[in-house]
Amino acid sequence: MARPMKSNATVGEAWLSAGADAEAELVRFEVLDPRGDIALALQVPRGGRRAFRAPRADARPAPHGGFDMQLVEPGLAELFAAYPAGNYAFRAWTDQGELVTASARLTHELLPPPIVLQPRDGTWIGARTTPTVHWLPDRAARGYRVRLEQGEDEGDDDELSIELPADSDSFRIPPGFLQPGELTHLEVGVVSVSGNTTFREIVFRTPQ
């Protein structure tokens, strides 16, 4: 149910992902921290089977039952304080009254953010070109995550996400992705052995 921690070193934001897959509808979900205290509780409102209430969290139903959520904090210090390292217990109740339990271990292990060599932040790159993203590899990395998002209007963005092996140090943007006159957010993330990811964000533009 738990998913790895992520941190964006460029904007100073950190978030923790969690989720549950279930064949039956979940109506309540609780997370117990290593001390046994309830760290988070999700409840389906009456008459709203497909919506979760989740204070301090972005939670939404998964397509085939269960849910996905992100716990967002303004920085790593706040995230570490709110969610200490250790074993977390999960309890979920279905609409049939069945109790489902699970557990996962959370670590605070994060590698330093990757050093992106190309492209440079704030640069201009020709539309409909296929530039290559380059970064300095980290010997301790388990892998890398690269994410591209183009467009400034929510809901109209073009997105591309890919996971790469530990020996990677570059990624070529595929033909046709970069459109003219757009702002592009590029994130390069280094994944630790525990699965936590530290991102570096680069922003560039394409001319009309």
What pLDDT, in 10s, does the model give residues 29-74? 888 889 998 887 777 665 554 444 444 555 555 554 555 666 666 6
Give residue-wise pLDDT tens across range 161-191. Answer: 999 999 999 999 999 899 999 999 999 999 9
pLDDT for the residue numbered 51: 46
Judge whether residue 120 has pLDDT over 60: yes
Q: Give buried/exposed letters for 78-113 (b at 16+ CB in 10 A, else e).
A: ebeeebeeeebbbebbbeeeeebeeeeebeeebbeb
Phi-psi region for residue 205, left (φ > 0), alpha (ψ -120 to 50) or beta?
A: beta
Highest average pLDDT, of 4-13, 57-66, 83-92, 182-191, comes from 182-191
Residue 36 CA: distances (Å) to CA of 73, 84, 87, 88, 102:
21, 12, 10, 8, 14
In whole angstroms, give the CA distance from residue 191 to residue 166.
9
CB neighbours (10 Å) of residue 59?
Answer: 19
pTM: 0.77
The dihedrals phi and psi of 15, each to the nearest 5 degrees, come to -150, 155
pLDDT for the residue numbered 122: 95
